């Protein structure tokens, strides 16, 4: 049975006790954050199995590196940063062809035709292809997690000016990409 005092502790206090060796406190952190971490990762990878694997790997990495947690930051931010980095590694290690092979339909010949990735792909998937990792990260923190510039600067270890510059460059690059790749006719 859970001790009542553990349920009253903040995540940051639990993380500090987990740093001191309390497995029970770390288990409470997993209980509290597993749902939101899974949802965060699922939005990034759009695959339940991959999101579950990344969630487990994130908690395993957090447990291994709990001594590196800095109490001045929110535990959830630290945890989600680990998840974000693992997701970036996941995509970097996964080879995704620019074109997908599709067997010729209605064609008696044994040939293969190619189609480009569907236009309806997720905007975040496009962002991962278009932007460098540092711009992807600040864009996600700003718009995906609705974090402030100061919060992003704190978790990235960069200045607020640097974060603003990255956001500005990311927006310009995305706007240019979207304009250049707008469907013919300028509409849907």
Query: Can you give the CATH number for the domain in which 28 is found?
Result: 1.10.1740.10
Q: Is residue 114 part of a domain?
A: no
Q: For 86-106, write each residue's pLDDT tens digit.
A: 988 887 776 444 433 333 333
Q: Is residue 110 part of a domain?
A: no
Q: How many domains does the chain fold into?
A: 2
**What DSSP assignment string belongs to 53-120?**
HHHHHHHHHHHHTGGG--TTS-HHHHHHHHHHHHHHHHHHHS---SEEEEEPTT--S--EEEEEPPTT
With residues binned 3-state (H G I as helix, E B as strand, rest as coil), the percentages for the chain, rounded to 5, are 65, 5, 30
The confidence band for 31, taking pLDDT boundaries of 50, 70 and 90, is very high
CATH at 135: 1.10.10.10
Same domain, 28 and 86: yes
Residues 13-23, mean pLDDT to the nearest whole number = 93
Reported pTM: 0.52
Q: Is residue 150 part of a domain?
A: yes
Q: Is residue 175 part of a domain?
A: yes
Query: Which among 41, 77, 34 is positioned nearest to 59, based on CA atoms?
Result: 34
For residue 129, the enclosing domain spans: 121-181
Residues 72-79, mean pLDDT to the nearest whole number = 90
Q: Is residue 58 part of a domain?
A: yes
- CA separation, residue 116 to residues 95, 98, 120, 121, 170 (Å): 15, 7, 11, 11, 24
The share of the chain scoring above pLDDT 90, in percent, equals: 35
Same domain, 22 and 73: yes
Contacts of 122 (CB under 8 A, 6+ apart): 46
């Amino acid at each position: 049975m859970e001790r009542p005092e553990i349920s009253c502790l903040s995540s940051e206090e639990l993380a500090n006790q987990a740093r001191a060796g309390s497995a029970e406190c770390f288990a409470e952190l997993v209980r509290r954050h597993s749902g939101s971490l899974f949802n965060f990762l699922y939005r990034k990878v759009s695959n339940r199995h991959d999101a579950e694997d990344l969630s487990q790997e994130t908690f395993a990495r957090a447990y291994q590196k709990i001594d590196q947690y800095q109490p001045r930051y929110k535990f959830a931010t630290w945890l989600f940063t680990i998840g974000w980095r693992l997701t970036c590694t996941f995509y970097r290690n996964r080879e995704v062809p620019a074109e997908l092979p599709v067997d010729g339909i209605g064609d008696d010949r044994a040939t293969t035709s190619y189609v480009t990735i569907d236009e309806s792909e997720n905007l975040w998937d496009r962002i991962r292809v278009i932007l460098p990792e540092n711009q992807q990260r600040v864009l996600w923190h700003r718009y995906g997690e609705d974090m402030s510039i100061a919060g992003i600067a704190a978790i990235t270890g960069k200045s607020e000016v640097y974060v603003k510059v990255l956001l500005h460059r990311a927006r310009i690059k995305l706007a240019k990409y979207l304009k250049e790749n707008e469907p013919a006719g300028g509409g849907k």
